[in-house]
Structure 1
Amino acid sequence: MSDKDSTPSVAILYIATGRYTVFWEYFYQSAENFLLPDCDKHYILFTDNTELLSQQGHYSNVTMIEQEALEWPYITLMRYEIFLKSSNLFTGCDYTFFFNGNTEFLAYIYKDDLLPLKRQENLTFYLQPHIFHKRRDKFPYERNIESKAYIPYGKGSFYFAGGIVGGNTKNFLDMCDILNKNAKIDLENNIIAKWHDESHLNKFALDRDDIKVLPPYFTKGENEYWKNTSKLMFSDKTHYRFGGHAYLRSETNEKITPSEWKKNNAKPRRRFTYRFKQYFKSLFFR
């Protein structure tokens, strides 16, 4: 644990199982270049990839944990259980953050940008980059009243995505415990929330006032080229350089071809209204 005035220590949690290991080097190299240069970072990599596991000594700041590749959607729904099982590895860190597999850092992110440093802040979440401009009744919350992730219409101020979740380590672990318990209760009742762990995350965040909300353009999807100030990008999982989304999830053994990808992702018309609504809404977050 760091002293108050010393350099913060940050645990970086990352899951790379199955074919998602293709993203690891993109993530690690960009994180080393841009992520929290003013902090002491240590990565905890959960993977089933034997080649990666054999390279443990290659990385001085990475601890590797063997983790089986759970079937979709359990690898995302049960991620908080995965973290809790290895929590002894990062309880000594000041902060802990999880980043999605397809995360790539584009610009320097300092502690003031990311960490919940203000007195009332304990956690850091980010807005889903494609829908933050919508009215709350259009947010894709879980609407099944039987689910522990249920949010009624008329409630909620933000829709948070699950690709970046972090905060003070104690608060992060408390959150993991709650989300894991709620996901398991749902499973016992044969319920899987609409957006899995993300649905439970949004229920957890409801009416809380201790969350640092990252600005709307902090993140972007790979194809949101107009968001040129974003510090972090989520790579396009459908892209042929990764084999395509179905290939990544092992739903097929056939990689998508460049021609197939281009056919499916022909450059759309400029959606001026969509971009204007996002820009206008973003002004209220400054």
Structure 2
Amino acid sequence: MTTARRIRGVTKETRWPWGAVRDPKHLFLEQSRIRLQPPMSPMPGDAPGRTDVQTITSWSVPVVWEGTFDPVLLDSLYQAKNLTIAATVFAVGKYIRFLKKFLETMEQHFFTGFNVHVFVFTDQPNKVPQVKMASGRQNNQFCHQPKTRQPPMLPMPGDAPGRTDVQTMTSWSVPVVWEGTFDPVLLDSLYQAKNLTIAATVFAVGKYIRFLKKFLETMEQHFFTGFNVHVFVFTDQPNEVPKVKMASGRQRTVKTVPTLNRWQDISASRMLLVLTLIEEELRDYADFIFCLDVDSEFHGRWGTESLGDLVGVLHPGYYKSDRSGFPYERRPISKAYMAPEEGDFYYCGGAFGGNLQEVERFCQTCSINFWDDRIKGIEAAWQEESHLNRYMWINKPSKVLSPEYLWQDFLARNPEIHLIRFSGIVKNYAEIRPNV
């Protein structure tokens, strides 16, 4: 696999293996690159043994009690590996009073004879006691403060000129963005000083490739104009990707993926591919990412007013509905399950985004939950959209975008929709999907 380098204005192609999507364990481990290092030495038997307690789990791993291991033998096996053991402890507020005894007894009993690095997180670094540590052992202090998100978010500059006909604030006090609730000139001027890069992903697989040209052309006209934008096109037909002229500071990378026979598999695998993209390519330079459906077109500005840590878009079909009418996954066996009393809004799966850290966490969680369902032989009602709604119920978005940001062309335009920015086009699903 080759990875992209940031060369402005150049279209590049990267070939990615999609993997065997029907083997969830293999796919998740491969995409997430999970490794257990160093390899574990086996427990050296029950020595001298215990019969009065459970010493093995139902999945055949040891339950460790005094009398079930030989400490001298075990230490000799691991000391040859020159291991370093890290430990964390939080001593915040009045809990600082317990730290001295903790560190003193830790020095006497915790992995004695091994390299140990203790990290003390505290709001009172001057009160951390000085405890003598043996050779190969150390501690560091960290001032415990609320985590700063990167890049820091600028506040919405008020309701300018304001809206009274729609909900502009959620129950957890974050903005719902509508036309007329922000000053685009002021917002852009604030963010342009930060030299941001916005990444965007779009999947054009199978017959969906026909929608890509219009998507890219209208995106160039309306999506974060005047900012650095890097569009990643995932497709099984790289030679069919249209050549669309891009402005300075904007670029496109094509990533090749295999054809799949079920649109549900294409939808589900998107989360894993976005996760891998963030981990392997975007960390070093991108600030935000948006994941968008290809069978859509831009009609108006989509810009800095949409930036947030985690951003959801209200579904145009349900933004006026009561929670009881939302098409959540209702089977308790599914990881996407929503109880009747749960839910704030119904978000669409065709557009979501945020900063890299939050979108990475979101994609990872939804991927795990999807494959957990697959192992149980079930599929959530609306695949990734169902898992997205479950996630955003538990992890509230820091910004909610109105249905202006993903309308549906077959819907009549309601009076409160002053501007349609992005919309899904009318299409025949039976004709374009590999299965219905």
How far the C-alpha of 1:209 sits from its partner, in A, is 3.5
Counterpart in the other structure of 2:290:
97
For residue 159 of structure 1, the aligned residue among 341, 346, 361 is: 346
CA offset digits 1:29-68 (Å, max 9, x no partner): 0000011114210110100114236x78987711111111
The answer to whether the 8 A contact 1:99-1:165 is kept is yes
In the aligned structure 1, how far is the partner of 2:238 from the partner of 2:229? 24
Counterpart of 2:296, as a letter, is T
Hey, what does 2:323 align to over in structure 1?
136
| In the alignment, structure 1 residue 8 sits paired with structure 2 residue 196 | yes
| Alpha-carbon displacement from aligned partner over 1:52-100 (angstroms, at most 9, x marks no partner) | 36x7898771111111122221111221012223332222300011001
AA aligned opposite 1:236: V
Q: What amino acid maps onto 1:147 in structure 2?
A: S
Within 2, Cα distance between the matches of 1:3 and 1:80? 23
Deviation, 1:157, is: 1.0
1:208 and 2:413 matched: no
Q: Which amino acid aligns with 2:336?
A: A
- Give the structure with the higher percent helix: 1
Partner residue in 1 for 2:254: 64
Judged with a 3 Å threshold, the aligned counterparts in structure 2 of structure 1 residues 58 and 48 are, in CA distance, closer, same or farther, namely farther
Task: Please say if residues 328 and 337 of structure 2, whose CA atoms lie closer than 8 Å, have aligned partners that are also in contact.
Answer: yes
Q: Mind listing any 5+ residue stretches in structure 2 that lack a counterpart?
A: 1-5, 7-149, 153-192
1:78 maps to which of 269, 275, 280: 269
Q: Distance in 1 between matches of 2:404 and 2:238?
A: 37
Kept after mapping to 2: 8 A contact 1:7/1:38: no
> Is the contact made by 2:290 and 2:353 (CA closer than 8 Å) also made in structure 1?
yes
Q: What's the C-alpha RMSD, in Å, of the aligned pairs?
A: 2.3
| Cα 1:188–1:233 shift into 2, 3 Å | same
Matched position secondary structure for 2:289 = strand
Aligned pairs for 1:176-195 (under 5 A) are 176-195=363-382
- Compared CA separation, residues 95 and 50, structure 1 to 2 (3 A): closer
**Residues 229-268 of structure 1: matches in 2 within 5 Å?**
229-238=419-428, 245-251=429-435
For 1:170, give the aligned amino acid.
Answer: Q
Confirm whether residue 115 of structure 1 aligns to residue 307 of structure 2: yes
Contact 1:38 1:111 in 2 (8 A): no
**Contact 1:126/1:161 (CA < 8 Å) preserved in 2?**
yes
- CA displacement at 1:222 relative to structure 2: 0.9
Counterparts of 2:194 and 2:398 in 1: how far apart (Å)? 23
Alpha-carbon distance in structure 2 between the residues aligned to 1:237 and 1:123: 29
| Aligned partners of 1:147 and 1:186 also within 8 Å | yes
| CA distance in 1 between partners of 2:396 and 2:379 (Å) | 27
Is the CA contact 2:238–2:254 (under 8 Å) kept in the aligned structure 1? no
CA distance in structure 1 between the partners assigned to 2:419 and 2:281 by the alignment? 34
> What's the offset of the Cα at 1:248?
0.7
Q: How many angstroms does 1:235 deviate by?
A: 0.7
Give yes or no for the alignment of 1:106 onto 2:299.
Answer: yes
Please say which structure displays the higher CA radius of gyration: 2
Listed as ranges, the gaps of 5+ residues in structure 1 are: 117-121, 239-244, 253-286
> Of residues 14, 19, 22 in structure 1, which corresponds to 2:210?
22
Letter in 1 for 2:364: D
Aligned equivalent of 1:219, options 406, 423, 435: 406
Using the aligned pairs only, state the percent identity: 26
Write out per-residue CA displacement over residues 115-139 of structure 1, whole angstroms, 9 at most, x where no aligned residue: 11xxxxx111101101111110111
State the match for 2:239 in structure 1: 51
Superimposed CA distance per residue, residues 236-264 of structure 1 (whole angstroms, 9 cap, x where no aligned partner): 122xxxxxx11211349xxxxxxxxxxxx
Question: Structure with the greater relative contact order (CA < 8 A, sep ≥ 6): 1 or 2?
Answer: 1
| C-alpha distance in structure 1 between counterparts of 2:291 and 2:387, whole Å | 16
The letter of the residue matching 1:67 is: V
Deviates more, 1:56-65 or 1:42-51: 56-65
TM-score by length of 1: 0.77
Decide whether aligned partners of structure 1 residues 218 and 64 sit closer, same or farther in structure 2, where only a CA change above 3 A counts. Answer: closer
Question: TM-score of the superposition, structure 2-length normalised?
Answer: 0.52
Supply the distance in 1 between the matched residues of 2:225 and 2:198 (Cα, whole angstroms).
Answer: 11
Distance 2:224 2:244 in 1: 23
CA distance in 1, matches of 2:328, 2:244: 43
Q: CA shift at 1:211, angstroms?
A: 2.8
Aligned length: 239
8 A contact 1:17–1:47 mirrored in 2: yes
Does the aligned pair in 2 maintain the 1:161–1:198 contact within 8 Å? yes
For 1:26 and 1:57, the matched residues in 2 are separated by: 10
Given the alignment, which residue of 360, 365, 381 partners 1:173?
360
Structure 2 CA distance, aligned partners of 1:96 and 1:18? 24
CA distance in 1, matches of 2:418, 2:408: 11
Distance in 2 of aligned mates of 1:84 and 1:61: 20
